[in-house]
Structure 1
Amino acid sequence: MKKTFGLLLSSLLACHSLFAEKPLAFGWIDEPGKHVDLKLGKRPLARYVYERMIPEDRQRTYKPFHHIYQSDGEGFLTKGPGGKFTHHRGIYYGFSKCSFTDKEGKKHRVDTWHCKGAYQTHEKFIRSHADSKSAGHTVEIAWRLDDGSVFALETRTLRFSLRPDDSLQIDFGSVLSTDHQPLILDGDPQHAGFQFRASDEVASSTARQTYYVRPKEGRDEAGKTKNWPADKDMTNLPWKAQSVVVSGQRHFTLYLDHPENPKPSFYSERDYGRFGSYFKTQSEPGKPVRIKYRLIIGTKERKASECARLSDEFSRG
C-alpha cells in the first residue's frame, strides 16, 4: 500500500512539474524589411522600425528609430512619422548640423535630424539576444548624403529589461565612426542629440497635463518647461524626467545621462512630449563618438530623490 501511494505521489508531482507554467521570456518577432517587435510573452514592449529609405516616401522612411508600447501593450507611447514635427520619432539620435570636407576637398553641411541633404539607413543586425531576463540587439546604421554615399557609420545597441516595479529599462549605446578628418556634430538642444518623443496625442490633446521633474527644483507645475539657452541651468544635468498622459494613462519617463558622455550637454523639454539633450563634438578616423544613456519608462511616478538614486546607480555601472 505504501509503495502504491509513493508511486501515485511521484506521478502527481511529475505531472505538476510537466504542466507548471513556464516563466515568461522576451522574444523578437520580425517583419522582414519593415520592423521587429520585442515582446515579453504576448505583451508588446518595443519596436525597431528599420525600413530602408524609399525616395518616393522619403519623409516616412528617412531614419530608423525605436517605438515603445504603452504599458498595456495596446498602442504606442511614442510618436512615429507625421503629426507635429514629423522628424520626431520615438527614441532617436541625430544632429541638425553635420559638417565635413570629403577626400576631394568638397565641403558638406547636412542635417541628420530633419534629414535634409542626408538620411540614415539600417544596414544590418550585428547581434540579437532574448531570454527570460533581458533582450537586446546591436544594429549598424549608415549616415548618408542624399547621393547615397556614406559619411559615417553608427553601431547602435539597445538592451531591454524589466525592473521590479514593472517599468521598462532601456540602455542605449552608440558608437559613431567616420573616415573624414574631422566630422563635426552640432545643432541645438531642440534639434540634435539623443531624444525621446511621446505620442502625438500629447501634442493634440494632453499637453497641459505634461510635467517635468528636474534635479534642482524637483517636480514643476503641469505645462511648465525649461530650455537652454534661456534657462542657463539646463546644462550638464545627470537626469531629467517627464510625465505625460496617453490613452488616459499617465506614463513616466526617466532620462539618465552618463557622466562619460561628451560634455557640456544642453537640455530641452516641450509640453507636447519631446525632451532630451545635445552636445557638440567631433568624430575622426580612429576616434569615434561614444555615448550611453538609460531610459526607465512606466506608469509609476517618481520623486526627484528616487530619480537621483537611479541616476547614481547608472553612473556607477
Structure 2
Amino acid sequence: MLPATPVGYHGRQVATAAGGVYGLNRGAGFMRLRVAGVWLFLLALSVATNAVAGEFKWQAPDGDHVVLDFDGKPVLSYMMPKLDESSEEKRNDTFKPYHHVFSPGGETLLTKGPGGLFPHHRGLFFGFNKITYGDGKKCDTWHCTGKTFQSHEEVIEQEADEDGASQIVAIDWHGQDGEVFAHEKREVDVQRAEHDGVAGWQIDFSSHLETADGQPIHLDGDPQHAGFQFRATQQVPDKTAAETYYVRTDGKGKPGDYRNWNHDDPTAEGNAENENRPWNALSFVVDGQRYTVVYLDHPSNPKPSRYSERDYGRFGSYFVADVTKDQPLDVKYRIWVQPGEMTVEECAALSQQFISK
C-alpha cells in the first residue's frame, strides 16, 4: 500500500479519487498539511518570491494527456500514454509518463516529448538505468529497454484554484518481463509566483516509490541516465545549443561549457563541484526568447547527488538508493521557470527558500 497522505506540499482542500490501492485517507494527514500551509504562507512573506494573481484550472482529460491552465493558457501537460507495442516506434512513444512544461506566458512548449535527439528523454521525468530487483533481476526504466516500462495507472487527486494547482498520480514500474515490481506515487504542485519582479512557474515535484511485492529494489545508474531530470524542447539541439549556458554555485558558465560528474573515475578532478549541489540552472533559447530553469535539490533527498549538464538542455542529478518493504523512497525537488537570465544570488535565494521548508 502507498502512504495515506500525499508526499508533496499543497494544503488546499481536494477531491479524492475513491477506491483502489491508491486511495487516500483525508483525515489527520490533511490537517497536518493545512498547518504546514499556514507556516509556508508566513515564510513566503519573508522571501523574494510572491504569488501572482490568477486562476489555475485542470482541463478535462484529452486522450493520453491532461492540461493545467493558468488564466486559459497552458502551464503543464501530464502525458499518460497507454503502452502500445504494435510497433517499435509506438512502444518508444508510449513507454513512460511525464510532465511537459510551458513558458510562463503559456505560448511556448519548453520541453521535449518522444522522438528527436535521445528519444527516451521527456520533459520532467524520473527513472534509473541500472535497477536490480527481486532475486537479482535487472531492468532500465530510463531507456525502457526490452519489456521494461512505466505505466500511468490512476489520477489520484487533482485540484486547482487561485492559489495554485496540484496533481497526484499513480505510476507502476514494470521489470524485464513486464511484471510490476514497484509502485510510485508522483506529485506536482504548481504556483504562479514572482521572484525579484519576474513572474514564473514554481513546480514542486515529489515521488514516493515502494516495492510492489516486498522484495528489495536497488536503484543505480549514472548522471546521464538516471534520477530526476529536465529535458528542453528539441528546438534547442536543432537550433540554439550554442547559446545554452549554465549558472552554478561557483558562477555563470560560458556557452558550450557544461560539466558532468565523471562516473568512470569517481576521483576525477572536478567531481567535487558536480556533487551535492543545492541547485543548478539552465539558460537556453526557444523561439528567440531566453528562459532560465532552476533545478533545486532538497537536503532530505538521498546523497551523494551527482549532476549532469548538456548543451541541448538535458540536466539534473541522480543518486544510489535501496528500497525495501520497510523503507520506501521519498524524494522532492523544485523547478523554477522564468523568462530571461538569472544571477547566482537569485538562484541561491530560491534554494534557501526551498530548503527552509
Letter of the structure 2 residue corresponding to residue 234 of structure 1: N
Contact 1:100-1:180 at 8 Å conserved across structures: no
Question: Matched residues in 1 for 2:252 and 2:130: separation?
Answer: 33
If the length of structure 1 is used for normalisation, what is the TM-score? 0.89
Cα offset, 1:72, TM superposition: 3.4
Query: Which stretch shifts more, 225-234 or 264-273?
Result: 225-234
Give the SS at the match of 2:59.
strand
Q: Which amino acid aligns with 1:245?
A: V
2:156 maps to which residue?
126
Amino acid at match of 1:88: H
Aligned-pair distance for 1:302?
1.3
Kindly provide the amino acid, as one letter, of the partner of residue 134 in structure 2. T
Report the Cα distance in structure 2 between the residues aligned to 1:195 and 1:249, rounded to whole angstroms: 22
CA distance in 2, matches of 1:97, 1:138: 26
Aligned equivalent of 2:230 = 196
2:77 is equivalent to residue 47 of structure 1: yes
Q: State the Cα deviation string for residues 253-296 of structure 1 (Å, max 9, x = none).
A: 00000000000010000000000000001100121111000000
Question: Could you tell me which amino acid in structure 2 is paired with residue 29 of structure 1?
Answer: Q
Once the 2 structures are TM-superposed, how far is the Cα of residue 76 of structure 1 from its aligned partner? 1.0
1:182 counterpart residue number: 216
Using the TM superposition, give the Cα deviation of residue 204 of structure 1 relative to its aligned residue in structure 2, in angstroms: 1.0
What are structure 2's unaligned runs of at least 5 residues?
1-52, 263-267
Q: Which moved more, 1:149-158 or 1:139-148?
A: 139-148
Tell me which residue corresponds to 2:14: none
Q: How many Å apart are 1:47 and its aligned residue? A: 0.3
Give the CA deviation at 1:298: 1.0
Correspondence 1:1-317 to 2 at 5 A: 24-56=54-86, 57-102=90-135, 107-117=136-146, 118-164=148-194, 165-178=198-211, 179-215=213-249, 217-229=250-262, 231-232=270-271, 233-317=273-357
How far, CA to CA, are the matches of 2:287 and 2:104 in structure 1? 10
Structure 1 residue matching 2:60: 3-state secondary structure: strand
Decide whether the 8 Å contact of 1:33 with 1:52 is kept in 2: no
Q: CA deviation at 1:182?
A: 1.6
Conserved? CA contact 1:155–1:174, under 8 Å: yes
SS of residue matched to 1:234: coil
Aligned AA for 2:69?
A: K
The letter for the 2-side match of 1:292 is: K
Match of 2:8 in 1: none
For 1:20-67, what per-residue CA distance to the aligned partner results, in whole angstroms no more than 9, with x for missing partners?
xxx631001133441000101211111000011111211000000000
- Residue 22 (structure 2) aligns with: none
* Gapped regions of structure 1 (runs ≥ 5): 1-22
CA distance in 1, matches of 2:283, 2:303: 26
Moved more, 70-79 or 125-134: 70-79
CA-to-aligned-CA distance 1:159-207 (integer Å, 9 cap, x gap): 0101123210000000000034320000000000000000111111100
SS at structure 2 position matched to 1:163: strand
**CA distance in 1 between partners of 2:319 and 2:284 (Å):** 25
The total of aligned residue pairs comes to 290
1:146 is displaced (CA, Å) by: 5.0
Question: Contact (CA 8 Å) 1:169, 1:294: kept in 2 or not?
Answer: yes
